[in-house]
């Protein structure tokens, strides 16, 4: 069990927003993460946990300072955890050259190319090491966990749910990268981390994975702003995911939100809806 170091703790909405660091064996560096513990968890009551996955460029700070999740999580008695978006400070040549590859852009895959495969293992980090660490260290109910995220993190939430039937009891996404095989961000990251054989990319594409999903019924909630520049640039392609869900009879609601963009101002506006969606399934 990896040891946690407390980085910060701030009382908020009756609970505590904490940041910890730990030495990760999966990605081979020090990783930070956030955890919000409602008052009941601080008093030792076991609660469901919802994991948030952030988008490109984010650290653990963006979500915890801007999303306004703590107020709702306190009310709904949910623990929220949020890992970082990539390994950090590895001194791999090129890791800091662009906002959409390398640092801040792990894309929640396990890299297979020589340069990245040792450390860029965010898929295994999050689904195995990080979640184990959460359940080992905080008063969670291990079989009541949900996942949600934004953009690259929405992609992460969808693929982790689809690749691991039964692991998550609830799932939702804000403006997810829904069909990364067919968008520029996906091309860049899949090409760099997985190589040029596109068959290998299918293992991390929600619009492909949903077609072979075979597990407990899902109830997927997706919110997408209509004024999101990345929607217009065909980076997100939520319509492709919805089509694939329909073909596969997987229930997914896509709510187009008129005038909203890709920012945390959009996320904050619908955070309460999403957490109520998770609570409905997790407090069942």
C-beta closer to a copy of itself: residue 120 or 266: 266
Quick check: 273 binds a copy of itself (CB under 8 A)? no
228 is catalytic: yes
- Closest approach of Cβ 257 to a copy of itself, in Å? 8
Task: Quote the radius of gyration of the chain (alpha carbons, Å).
Answer: 17
C-beta closer to a copy of itself: residue 99 or 265: 265
The vertex-46 CA angle with 65 and 10, nearest 5°, equals: 25
Among 25, 143, 246, 268, binds a copy of itself (CB under 8 A): 268
State the number of binding residues for a copy of itself (CB under 8 A). 22
Output the CA–CA distances (angstroms, integers) from residue 243 to 53, 227, 262, in the order listed: 24, 21, 22
> Which residue is it, tokens 């905080």?
138
Q: Of these residues, 86, 151, 170, 172, which one is catalytic?
A: 151
174-199 burial code (b ≥16 CB/10 A, e <16): bbbbbbbbebebbebbbebbbbeeee
Per DSSP bridges, beta strands 140-150 and 170-174 are parallel
86-94, 144-152, 229-237, 254-262 -> range binding a copy of itself (CB under 8 A)? 254-262
Q: Of these residues, 262, 274, 277, 278, which one is catalytic?
A: 262
Output the CA–CA distances (angstroms, integers) from residue 209 to 147, 160, 167, in the order listed: 17, 10, 15
The vertex-18 CA angle with 13 and 24, nearest 5°, equals: 150
Q: Of these residues, 228, 274, 277, 278, which one is catalytic?
A: 228
Among 108, 193, 230, 260, binds a copy of itself (CB under 8 A): 260
Which of positions 7-36 make contact with a copy of itself (CB under 8 A)? 10-14, 17
Contact 41, 47 (CB under 8 A): yes
Which residues share a beta bridge with 32? 21
Which of positions 63-92 make contact with a copy of itself (CB under 8 A)? 65-66, 68, 70-71
Among 101, 125, 241, 264, binds a copy of itself (CB under 8 A): 264
Among 248, 269, 281, 283, binds a copy of itself (CB under 8 A): 269
CA distance linking residue 216 with residue 198, whole number of Å: 28
- Closest approach of Cβ 85 to a copy of itself, in Å? 19
96 is catalytic: no
178 is catalytic: no
Would you tell me which residues interact with a copy of itself (CB under 8 A)?
Answer: 10-14, 17, 65-66, 68, 70-71, 225, 227, 259-261, 263-266, 268-269
Task: Give catalytic residues, as residue numbers.
Answer: 151, 228, 262
């Amino acid at each position: 069990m990896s040891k946690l170091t407390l980085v910060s703790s701030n009382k908020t909405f009756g609970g505590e927003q904490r940041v910890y660091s730990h030495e990760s064996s999966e990605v081979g560096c020090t990783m930070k993460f956030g955890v919000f513990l409602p008052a009941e968890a601080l008093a030792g009551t076991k609660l469901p946990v919802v994991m948030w996955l952030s988008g490109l460029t984010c650290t653990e700070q963006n979500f915890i300072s801007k999303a306004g999740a703590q107020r709702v999580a306190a009310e709904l008695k949910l623990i929220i955890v949020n890992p970082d978006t990539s390994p950090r400070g590895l001194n791999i040549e090129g890791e800091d050259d662009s906002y959409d590859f390398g640092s801040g852009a792990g894309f929640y895959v396990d890299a297979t190319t020589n340069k990245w495969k040792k450390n860029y293992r965010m898929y295994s980090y999050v689904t195995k090491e990080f979640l184990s660490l959460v359940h080992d260290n905080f008063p969670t109910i291990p079989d009541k966990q949900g996942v949600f995220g934004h953009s690259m993190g929405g992609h992460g939430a969808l693929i982790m749910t689809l690749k691991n039937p039964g692991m998550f009891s609830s799932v939702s996404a804000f403006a997810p990268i829904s069909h990364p095989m067919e968008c520029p961000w996906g091309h860049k990251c899949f090409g760099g981390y997985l190589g040029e054989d596109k068959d290998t990319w299918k293992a991390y594409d929600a619009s492909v994975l949903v077609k072979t999903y075979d597990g407990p019924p899902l109830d997927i909630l997706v919110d997408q702003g209509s004024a999101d520049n990345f929607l217009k640039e065909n980076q997100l392609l939520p319509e492709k995911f919805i089509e694939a869900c329909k073909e596969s009879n997987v229930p997914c609601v896509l709510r187009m939100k008129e005038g909203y963009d890709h920012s945390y101002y959009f996320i904050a506006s619908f955070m309460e809806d999403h957490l109520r969606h998770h609570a409905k399934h997790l407090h069942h």
